[in-house]
Chain A
Amino acid sequence: MPTVDLFIPCLVDQFLPEVAEACANVLTRLGVTLRLPSGQTCCGQPVYKAGRFPEARDIARRHLALFEGAEAVVAPSGSCVHMMRHGYPELFEGEPGMRERARALGQRTYEFCEYLVDVLGVSDVHANYVARAVYHDSCQVGRSLGVKAQPRALLDAVGGLTRVELEFPEDCCGFGGPFAVQHAAVSEAILEDKIDDILSSRADIVVTAEPSCLLNIRGGLQKLKAKQPVLHIAQVLDSGVGA
C-alpha cells in the first residue's frame, strides 16, 4: 500500500480546509496511507513570486527538510507542486547539493490529480455529483505541470456529472500571486473575461485543481452574486461515493 505525505498549502489550510479533507478522504478510500508531516507552513511561493529569492530560499530549505523522508508527496495545488518541482531547483542553482535534493524530492511530489491518474492508475473514484461542470485549467496545473487530461478523465468518470469545456479553458484567471494586487485593475480585467466565459458556458459548477485560482474565481463570482459554486476537484471526487 502506498504511503503519501500530504502537503497542505497554507491557503488551503487556512481558507479551504474542506479541500484538504476531501483530498485526504479520496486518497484514504483508495487505500493510500496518509501522513501529515507536522510543522507545515508555507512553501515560499508568494515570496518567490515577489522576487525575494534569498527569503524564498530560507523557506524552501525548511520545507524541503519537512518532506524529505516521504515516499511520495501529494498536494491539492498545482502551483505549490510546481514551486517544489521547478522553483526549488531553480532557487538552489548555486548550491549543487541542495539542488539535487530539491530535484529528487520534486520528482516524487505530485499534484493531486496527477497522483491519482498517473501513479495510482485510477480515474474512476466512484463519486457522484449531478451538475453541468466546467474545468478551469489553472496555468500551473495545465501548462506548467502538463496535467490537463488527468482532471478531465477524473471528472468524466463522476456519475451524474456533465462536463462542458469553457471557450478558453487554459486562459489565465488573472491571479498571478503578487500581480493580483500590484496590477489590480489588469488582474480584475482578466478575471472578468474568465467569469464571462464561465457564465456563458451555463455551467452549474466550476472545478479547478488550484486553490489560488479557486479563491480568485470564487471571490469574483460571489462579488457578482452569481450562484455557481467553485470547487476543488477533490471536493467533487469526494462527493456521493457509493450513491
Chain B
Amino acid sequence: MKMTGPFHTRCEQAVANATLRKTLKNAAQIFRQSRAEGLGTLADPEAACDRAAEAKRRSLENLPAILELLEQNVIAAGGHVHWARTGAEANRIVADIARAEGVRSVVKGKSMITEETGLNQLLKDQGIEVNETDLGEWIVQLAGEKPSHIVAPALHKNRHEVSQLFHEHLGEPITDDIPTLTLMARRALREKFLVAEMGITGANILVAETGSVLLIENEGNIRMSTTLPRVHVAVASLEKAVQTLEDAAAILAVLPRSCTGQVLSSYTTVITGPRRAGERDGAQVFHLVLLDNGRSRILADPEMRSILHCIRCGACFNFCPAYTRVGGLAYPGTYSGPMGSILAPLLAEAQGKANPFAAFPYFCTTCGACRDACPVRIDHPRLLMKLRARHADTESPLPALAAAAFARLSASPRTWKMAAGVARTLDPELKLACRMPGIGKALSLWARKRRLPRLKQPFAARWADRSQTQPGGRA
C-alpha cells in the first residue's frame, strides 16, 4: 500500500505548520474573492472563458505553423529566435548570449519557465550576478527557496517572515508595515536595474502574426527589465504561442481577472523586436528562446494535450483543498497545485527522466474546484484520474492484487453478502478490522480524527420485509 514517500512526508510536515496554514488560508481567500469580483465585471464570464479556451485549443492545433510564423515575424522585427529542445539547451543558449554580450549582471522578471530550466544556477556558475526583480520572486531568492505558487511566489511567507529576511539580508529594521517593506525592496532593486546589462523574462503570450511577446505584471519590474538593460532575452515554452492579437485579447480577458481579479494588470507590455531607430526606449538586442522540454510530446498525447491550455493564472491553486493546506514547497520540483500535478509528471515523462512527480495526481480529493475555476476549461480531475491509472502500479494506495480481489468480490453478490454478514456479526464496530493487514492501516488512519461507522443490517436484507403496501406510511 503506497502511503509513504518523500512527498507524503513533506505534505505531512507542511500541514502540521500552523503559521503556514494560516498564511495559506488567508491568501487563498483573498485570491478567491478577487477572482469572483474580477470575473463579475464581465457581462458573460462563461462565454469569455469559452473564447479563451477556444483560442488556446485552436492555437495548439496549429502550433507548428504558428511557431514558424512567429519566428519569421520576430526576425522581421529585428529579433533573434532560438529553438531549445531541453531546459539545458535553453540555459546554454541564454548563457552564450550573456557571454557574447559581455554581461556581468542580469535582472529577471518573474518566469516559471526559467525556474523549470534552473537558469539562475547556470548563470551564477558562470560568474554572472542574477537578481530576481518581482517582489515575491526576489523574496524567495533571498530565502534560498523556490516559488510556492505560480502567481505569488512568496505566498507561503507572512509579513513578519519577510521583514526578518530583509533584516538579515539588507540590514533593514524590522517592520510590520507592507508599504515600508515594499519600499525597502524597491530601494535595493532599483540599483540592480541600473547596472544590469541583460534582462531576462518569460512570456505570457507570444503573438505569431506580429512577432510579439506579451507580458503582464503589477510591479513595473518586467517593463524595467525589458527596457533598461541593453539586452532582453525572453524565454518561453512553445504552447504560449497564439496566431493573432485577437486570440491574445481573448486570453487577456480572463487571465488577470482569474489571477488577481484585475480587469487588466497594472502593466501590459507588448514587445515587438528590439528598439528601432528613432524609438526612445526598449532593449537594443532582443532574443526569443523557444523551449520544448517535453511539450511536443504532451501535444501529441490527445488525452493530456489540454493541460497545455494553461495560461498560468493560478486560480486552480487557490481553490484546491489539498494545495491550500500544504503550499507549493511541499511539492518537489517547479510546479505544484492542480496544474502542476498534471504538468510535472507529464513533463518528466516526456523528458525521459525519472518521474518523482507521479505521486502528485493522488494528492487530490477529486473535488473538481480546479476545473470550475479554470478560465481555459481544463478538466483537471479527468486528467488526474487518467494519470492515476497510468501510474497506479507505483503510486496507487490500492495494490493490484487487492483491486483484483475486490473486483472478484463485487462480482459475487453471495460472497459479498456473506463477507459483510460475517464482519457485521463478529466486528460491527470494525475494531478487529483495524488490526488486519492492509485494510487495518487504512481504517486506523481514518479513525485518528473520526469515529468509525458501524456495520448495520443492510438495506437489501430489509427490502424483503418492506411490504410495498405503505405509500404514505412511515417504514
Contact = CB atoms under 8 A, between A and B. Distances in A.
A52 B398 contact: yes
B468 A28 contact: yes
A178 B397 CA distance: 7
A50 B398 contact: yes
Given A36-B460, A90-B385, A186 B400 contact: no
Contacts of A191: 449-450
Contacts of B453: 15-16, 215, 218-219
Interface string A224-240: 00000000000000100
A175 B424 CA distance: 24
B460 A50 contact: no
Contact of B407 (A38, A58, A187): A58
Nearest to B439: A181
A192 B361 CA distance: 23
B411 A179 contact: no
A193 B366 CA distance: 18
B12 A176 contact: no
A242 B475 CA distance: 14
A36 B416 CA distance: 17
Nearest to A167: B29
Nearest to A211: B453
B391 A14 contact: no
Contacts of A17: 456-459, 462
A143 B388 contact: no
B442 interface: yes
Contacts of B35: none
Interface stretch (B69-77, B88-96, B290-298, B321-329): B321-329
A41 interface: yes
A14 B406 contact: no
Interface residues of B, number: 74
B325 A219 contact: no
A147 to B, nearest CB: 13
Contact of A55 (B3, B367, B404, B456): B404
Interface string B456-475: 11111011001010111011
Interface string A48-63: 1111110110110011
Interface in B1-16: 2-3, 8, 11-12, 15-16
Nearest to B404: A55
Interface in B281-325: 321-322, 325
B430 to A, nearest CB: 10
A24 B11 CA distance: 42
Contacts of B326: 186
B184 to A, nearest CB: 34
Interface in A129-177: 139-140, 143-144, 170-172, 174-177
B321 A222 contact: no
Nearest to B455: A14
B473 to A, nearest CB: 8
Contacts of A104: none
B365 interface: yes
A175 B446 CA distance: 10
A51 B451 contact: no
B27 to A, nearest CB: 14
Nearest to A52: B403
B324 to A, nearest CB: 9
Contacts of A238: 474
Nearest to B441: A181
B16 A185 contact: yes
Contacts of A177: 365-366
A188 interface: yes
B83 interface: no
A181 B442 contact: yes
A62 B325 CA distance: 38
A55 B322 CA distance: 27
Contact of A223 (B391, B450, B471): B450
Interface in A182-204: 182-193
Contact of A8 (B363, B412, B460, B470): B460
B1 to A, nearest CB: 8
Contact of A34 (B3, B16, B424, B468): B468
A222 B366 contact: no
B461 to A, nearest CB: 8
Nearest to A179: B365
Contacts of B466: 21, 24
A206 to B, nearest CB: 14
Interface string A4-25: 0000100011111110110011
Contact of B456 (A14, A46, A176): A14
11 contacts: A16-B453, A31-B471, A51-B398, A55-B404, A56-B407, A139-B366, A176-B364, A180-B445, A181-B3, A186-B15, A190-B322
Interface of B: 2-3, 8, 11-12, 15-16, 21, 25, 321-322, 325-326, 361-369, 371-372, 382, 385, 388-392, 395-398, 400, 403-404, 406-407, 409-413, 416, 420, 424, 441-442, 445-446, 448-460, 462-463, 466, 468, 470-472, 474-475
Interface of A: 8, 12-18, 20-21, 24-25, 28-29, 31, 34, 36, 38-42, 44, 46-53, 55-56, 58-59, 62-63, 90, 139-140, 143-144, 170-172, 174-193, 215-216, 218-220, 222-223, 238, 241-242
Given A15-B454, A39-B413, A50-B397, 4 more contacts: A31-B471, A34-B468, A59-B410, A218-B451
| 7 smallest beta-carbon distances between A and B, as pairs | A176-B365, A219-B450, A51-B388, A51-B392, A50-B398, A20-B459, A52-B403
